[in-house]
Chain A
Amino acid sequence: MSERPWLLGASALLVIALIALPLAIQGFWLYSLGLCFANGLGVLAVTFLVRYAGEVSIGHSFFVAAGAYTVAIADRSFGLSALVSVWPAIALGVLLGIGFAFPSRKLSGIYLAVTTMALALALPELILQAGPWTGGFEGLYVSRELLPGVPKPLQQYYFALAALVVATAMLGRFRQSRQGLALLTARSHPAAAEAFGVGRDWARVSAMGISGGLGAASGAALAFTSSTVSPNSFTLWTSIFLLVGSVVSVYGLTLGRALLGGAFVTLVPQLLAGSGDWIPILYGVALLAVILAGHYLPRWRAAGRSAS
């Protein structure tokens, strides 16, 4: 509780800085930051499942793809902009999350993780099989603008930023809600939750539904920000990188943590792009450095506080 005013103030400053940032940067970096925000939403989706259900997913590219293709298909077939289609995209993500969680609600740990992996493995083939709708290998182009007259790169940047800010604000609110308290208790002590009327199946299905919705929101933002969707963007590796982003963000659900995870997923591969054969090794080193920093920095700070 005592950290909340500080956290709110820091988040507000960060939002103001991000709103003003396009005054200072443009082109590649503006585009990359938009992708950071979109991937940050995907990281949040994985983190939500970890924090509120205690489960790990290596299949969240499935929900991201559902959101992305909903936006792309709505754009091409129905002439709807992302501002409109993001809502059915999120609803579809929630439904798919619930649809996946219900039959797998008794699974946990490595068994659930492997089950989510099945989603990611099946996804590219599903997209190809639905070629008439999804554009097959070539994918779809998302061209419709949100606000005519505003430069497209700015629209893409602000759309993804708004989605991320709104999502983190809603998650901050959710943590205070009775549903949030119930999911957290059901995660740590399922028997205690049941003793107070909260069924563990309800908790699992609810957590996966919200996580699926966040994943789909990430996909919607990715589709609009990158202007294209194709099967190559939603592989098993996409899911694994989202999980990596979640670990790098130290499972945080705040704006800053989501940005950290999204930036690692998006920017580190781009920064290493010129390193040739060294890319996997340097990526591993960067990952190790960030995780160790996330692990030890809070302890050093705590030790410093107690010493002073």
Chain B
Amino acid sequence: MTGANAPAQLEASNLSLSFGGLSVLKDIGAVFQSGEITGLIGPNGAGKTSLFNCLAGLYRPQQGSIRFAGTDFGALPTTQRARHGMARSFQHVALCPDLTAIENVMFGLSRLGRSGWAGALLGLKLARTEEADARHRAEQALKKLGIADIANMLPAELPPGILRLVEIARAIAGTPKILLLDEPAAGLNAAETRELTRVLHQLRTPDLVMVVVEHDMDLIMEICDRIYVLNFGKLIAHGTPDAVRSDPEVARIYLGEDDD
């Protein structure tokens, strides 16, 4: 049970997932604490993206449960998880090309709006107030990530590193309780990755559960408080970055240090 003052945690228990006869997750248990950044790592095909997608609601595991703050997330579709405070970024940037950067971030706040269709079409006061508030919050999110100057630019006009940050701004604008980041450093150069590292450190708050899937080991070791390592759908190690780094199983299987 989660106590009233206990930090919220996202908890996956006994998760198993298969596609046809292919088992991609086998009896996975993991706890993602608020106030921490938790990394999911593993070689290609390890199952980390499958686990990530189970958390996000894209995949429905055949067995096991996902719970957050007393709510059974396993039974909720993706849209409902968003209403419970889950937000995410995508491995392949998924911004709307017709919207400016700030409008894309404002979209991240749309679920919080209360104005109806009449407000949308007629510009009633509530709708205008909400839009002004959303624009302000979106500006704050862009400012927090240091990219306020590109607010009115379209995604096609922006480099990959900035697009990643716009996606993260969209995810954090609504003050989520769970933030899932899917390979945020994919396609970034060294300078952009350094900037991303700074930003991710900055996002850490006591009430936020952050989960990061990433191939860039330097980034993961730098930002994470806890790391789960998967291989062939099984959890092979977890702990602090130092503990994972020194785990012989991880070194042998994941980092490729063979004994022979």
A and B are interacting partners: yes
CB distance from B124 to the nearest CB of A (A): 10
Closest chain-B Cβ to A307's Cβ sits at a distance in Å of 20
- From A1, which residue of chain B is reached at the shortest CB distance? B152
Q: Given A191-B94, A195-B78, A197-B82, is A182 in contact with B107 using a C-beta cutoff of 8 Å? A: yes
Interface string of B29-59 (1 = CB under 8 A from A): 0000000000000000000000000001010
Complex: chain A residue closest to B58, CB-CB: A191
B97 within 8 A of A: yes
B137-157 residues with Cβ-Cβ distance < 8 A to A are 152
Q: Kindly state whether residue B88 has any CB partner on chain A within 8 Å.
A: yes
User: How many of B's residues come within 8 Å of A, CB to CB?
Assistant: 42
What's the minimum C-beta distance from B66 to chain A, rounded to whole angstroms?
Answer: 15
* Interface-side segment among B8-16, B109-117, B193-201, B230-238: B109-117
When distances are taken between beta carbons in the complex, the residues of chain B under 8 Å from A170 are: 121-122
State in angstroms the CA–CA spacing of A195 and B181 once bound together.
Answer: 12
Q: Which of A83-107 contact B (CB under 8 A)?
A: none
A180 CA to B110 CA, complexed, in Å: 10
Residues of A within 8 A of B56 (CB): 195
DSSP majority for the A interface? helix
Q: Is B17 an interface residue when CB atoms closer than 8 A count as contact?
A: no
**Does B165 sit at the interface, judged by CB under 8 A?**
no
Judge if B206 is at the interface, Cβ distance under 8 Å.
no
Q: How far is the CB of B87 from chain A (nearest CB, A)?
A: 7
Give A198 to B111 CA distance when docked, in angstroms: 7
Complexed CA–CA distance, A161 and B130 (Å): 31
Closest A residue to B119 using CB positions: A177
How distant is A187 from chain B, measured CB to nearest CB, in Å? 8
Binds A, one of B20-28, B98-106, B210-218, B245-253: B98-106
Q: How far is the CB of B173 from chain A (nearest CB, A)?
A: 10
CB–CB B110/A197 < 8 A = yes
Contact A188 B97, beta carbon cutoff 8 Å:
yes
Tell me if A236 counts as interface (CB < 8 A to partner B).
Answer: no
A-B pairs with CB below 8 Å: how many? Answer: 94
Cβ of B166 < 8 Å from any Cβ of A?
Answer: no
Q: Contacts A178-B106, A178-B110, A179-B120 hold; do A195 and B87 have CB atoms under 8 A apart?
A: yes
* In contact, B99 and A185 (Cβ under 8 angstroms): yes
Asked if B98 contacts A198 (CB within 8 A), the reply is: no
Residues in B with CB closer than 8 Å to A195 are 56, 78, 82, 86-88, 90
Contact of A173 among B78, B123, B130, B170 (CB under 8 A): B123
A185 touching B79, Cβ below 8 Å: no
A299 within 8 A of B: no
Pair A191/B90 contact, Cβ less than 8 Å: yes
Closest residue of chain B to A187, judged by CB? B96
* Chain A 181-195 interface residues, beta-carbon cutoff 8 Å to B: 181-182, 184-185, 187-189, 191-192, 194-195
Task: Give the residue of B58, B96, B109, B121 whose beta carbon is less than 8 angstroms from that of A189.
Answer: B96
Nearest neighbor of A52 in chain B, beta-carbon distance = B98
Neighbouring B residues of A306 by C-beta, 8 Å: none
C-alpha spacing A35/B98, complex, angstroms: 31
Q: How far is the CB of B84 from chain A (nearest CB, A)?
A: 10
Write the nearest CB–CB distance from B129 to chain A, whole angstroms: 12
Residue of A nearest to B106 (CB): A181
Q: Whose C-beta in chain B lies nearest to the C-beta of A177? A: B120
Within the complex, which residue of B86, B94, B120 is in contact with A192, where a contact is CB–CB below 8 Å?
B94
A294 to B176, CA, bound (A): 43
CB contacts (< 8 Å) of A176 on chain B: these are 131
By a CB distance below 8 angstroms, the chain A residues around B58 are: 191
Which B residues are in CB contact (< 8 Å) with A192? 90, 94-96
Cα-based distance from A196 to B90 in the complex (angstroms): 12
The residue in chain B whose Cβ has the minimal distance to the Cβ of A190 is B94
- Most chain-A CB neighbours within 10 Å: which of B82, B131, B152? B82
Interface status of A174 (Cβ within 8 A of chain B): yes
Cβ of A77 under 8 Å from chain B: no
In the complex, whether B83 has a CB less than 8 A from a CB of chain A is yes
Cβ of A173 and Cβ of B100 under 8 Å apart? no
10 contacts between A and B (CB under 8 A): A173-B120, A173-B123, A178-B107, A178-B120, A185-B99, A188-B97, A191-B78, A196-B82, A196-B111, A199-B77
- 10 other contacts beyond A1-B100, A177-B127, A181-B110, with CB at 8 A cut-off? A1-B152, A173-B120, A178-B134, A182-B107, A185-B99, A187-B96, A194-B78, A194-B82, A197-B79, A198-B110
Chain B residues at the A interface, C-beta cutoff of 8 Å = 56, 58, 77-80, 82-83, 86-88, 90, 94-100, 103-104, 106-111, 113, 115, 117, 119-123, 127, 130-131, 134, 152, 170, 174
In the A-B complex, list the 7 residue pairs whose CB atoms are closest, starting with the nearest. Answer: A177-B120, A197-B111, A197-B82, A192-B94, A178-B110, A189-B94, A181-B107
